[in-house]
Structure 1
C-alpha cells in the first residue's frame, strides 16, 4: 500500500459525494487519489504562494517522456541521414545538386524539429514553475 496506513473518514451530503465521485471519474482518479491531490494542492499553494497548479498523473508523465524520447530518436536519425549524404557526396557517388537539395530539405526538417523542441522546453519549464501535484 506504499506506506499509506492512516485513514480519514469524511461525512458528505449525497450531492457532494456525487460531485466528488464525478470529479474523480472525469479525471481518471479514485476518490482517495482525488483527496490526496487536493491536500497536496492546498499544501503546495499555501507554502510556495503558487496560484496555478499542474496535476500530472504517472500515465501522463510516462507519455510525455515517451514523446520526448521519440523526438530525440527523430533528431538522431536526421543527423545520421545528413552524415550519410555528406559522406556519399564527398566520395563523388552522389550528384552535387541532388546532395544540396537533400541537405536543404533535411536542414529545414531539423529546423522545424528544433523550433518544436524549444517550444516544448519552454512550456515544460513553465509547467515546472507552478505547484505540481502528483498522483
Structure 2
C-alpha cells in the first residue's frame, strides 16, 4: 500500500492503559502508531471453523527473529565444522595419507559437530513452537 492510497482518517478514543500499550508496542517495533495499526488491521483473524487452517499469516517480532537467527548461525557453524572434517578425511584418503589416528580424530570431530547441529536444530524447533503458542494480539 502506498502513501497515495491513504484517503481516510480514523479517530477514536482509548483508555489510558490501552494508549500506553499502543505507545510501548510502537516504540518496541520502531513503527509509527499509524503504521502499527495498519499492520494490525491486515492480520487475518480466523480462529475457528473450516478456514482457520488456511490463513497464510505469521507475525514475528524482532526479538523472536533475532533468537531464531542466532540459532541458525550456530547450526551453520557446527554444520560447517562437520563438513570441513569430512573434507579433511577425503583429502587424506585421496592422497594415501590416511592413518587410523587421523581418521579416528576426524570421525570424533564430525560426531561432536553433528551432535551440536542436532542440538541447535532442536532449539530452532523449540523457538518456532514457542512462537506458535503466543497470542497474536494481547487483550
For the criterion TM > 0.5, the same-fold answer is yes
Map of 2:75 onto structure 1:
71
TM-score for both structures, normalised by structure 1: 0.58
Asked whether 1:93 is paired with 2:108, we answer no
CA RMSD of aligned residues (A): 4.2
Describe the shift of the 1:20–1:32 C-alpha distance in structure 2 as closer, same or farther (beyond 3 A).
same
Q: In the alignment, what sits opposite 1:121?
A: 125
Tell me the equivalent position of 2:108: 104
> What TM-score does the superposition give when structure 2 sets the normalisation length?
0.57
Which structure has greater strand proportion?
1
Unaligned runs of 5+ in 1: none
Q: Decide whether aligned partners of structure 1 residues 60 and 32 sit closer, same or farther in structure 2, where only a CA change above 3 A counts.
A: farther
Do 2:82 and 2:114's aligned partners in 1 also have CA atoms closer than 8 Å? yes
**Please, which moves more after superposition, 63-72 or 6-15?**
63-72
Deviation string 1:84-110 (CA, Å, 9 cap, x unpaired) is 224304643243213202221221111
Aligned to 1:2: 2
Name the count of aligned residue pairs: 130
Partner SS, residue 104 of structure 1: helix
5+ unaligned residues in a row in structure 2: which ranges? none
Equivalent pair of 2:82/2:109 in contact (CA under 8 Å):
no
Go from structure 1 to structure 2 and tell me whether the alpha carbon gap of 1:61 and 1:116 turns closer, same or farther (over 3 Å shift).
Answer: closer
